[in-house]
Amino acid sequence: MNFSSLSELTDALKARTSEMMTDEPDEIRQFRSGTLENKAGSYGQYFGTWDIAAGMVRDYSMYTMYPILQLAENPRLDHEQFRAVLEALDPPYSNYLRYSGFPQMGEYAAALRSLIGRNQSRDEVIQAMRAYVAYTNRMAAWSFHYFPWGLGKHFQYAEPDVAPPDISDLKRRVRIKNGQPIRLTWQPLGVSVKAVLATNENPELCEDLLRALPFTILQDHAVVTGESMYAWTPVVSTAPIRVRERICDAPRGRLRYSQSTGQKLIVQYGPTTEDLAQPVLGEVLEPDAARLAAVGRKVWESTYETKERIWLTVEAA
């Protein structure tokens, strides 16, 4: 792929990301089905290739490209300093991913590095980085969905039915005040619930989300935290966060938003075990929150075993 300008690359990334909102990328299908042309993988197996690539694309989108975007938006960092950071951190990821199933991503990354520095404005650089972050996030979303999480049935705790210690502290729970109403709908489950956004608690974050509505995204389930679902949004928010809440303290129906792990909208439907604090986005209203458990179980089955696509639509109410 040849691009004559950074803006041309930005447009191409946006178009490709838009296509991937509902269609699985060929790169994901090929490496999960063992049809990579270069047959990357020792002794004829490709699970090692799949496992490592899935972990790397996750870390690349969440913990490399997103922080680099934040640096691009930081006025204290000049153009040359930003280029040096990008050149140092990007190639180890994008070059390996190019080899192990993401050739198009490798080409986009190489174009990004080569084009940044040709007398662009800071805004042009930021827009290109935002487009690339959105693209890598979408790749990570599809990669997560199709990873064989069902292998977890072979790695269970000795007493899987015994609940972990309760570390919640209800005094730390955040109360939402007069939030902006939205609606969440899961298809083909036919379940729709009412919710409110934390427009008073995290106004800038909520504004970023509201500007993007409506959107439809592939719903998946957490595999570590507990009874939570999440989905990668088309939003790329670097908004300041005013209010956070420990995941374990949150009520049933809590909506969270994780900028730093791929721009995920998270819906908690039951007990969780993680004590990390995350940005509060809102909450599903009672009695609708009582309907979330049934959705959560279906989403768990989809993520863990069946890979049936369940779609979440978020829209203004």
Average confidence (pLDDT) per 10 residues, the chain, 317 residues: 92 98 95 93 95 96 97 92 94 96 96 86 95 98 97 92 86 92 98 98 98 98 96 98 96 97 97 94 97 98 98 97
What is the C-alpha separation between 50 and 31, in angstroms, rounded?
6
What is the C-alpha separation between 88 and 96, in angstroms, rounded?
14
Q: CA nearest 304: which of 125, 154, 178?
A: 154
pLDDT at 162: 86
Q: Output the pTM of the full model.
A: 0.96
Tell me the residue type at 136.
Answer: T
Q: Token pair for residue 49?
A: 């290739």
Which residue in this structure is represented by tokens 């049936």?
308
| DSSP conformation class of 249 | G
pLDDT at 170: 87
Output the CA–CA distances (angstroms, integers) from residue 31 to 90, 307, 317, in the order listed.
Answer: 21, 16, 40
pLDDT at 110: 97
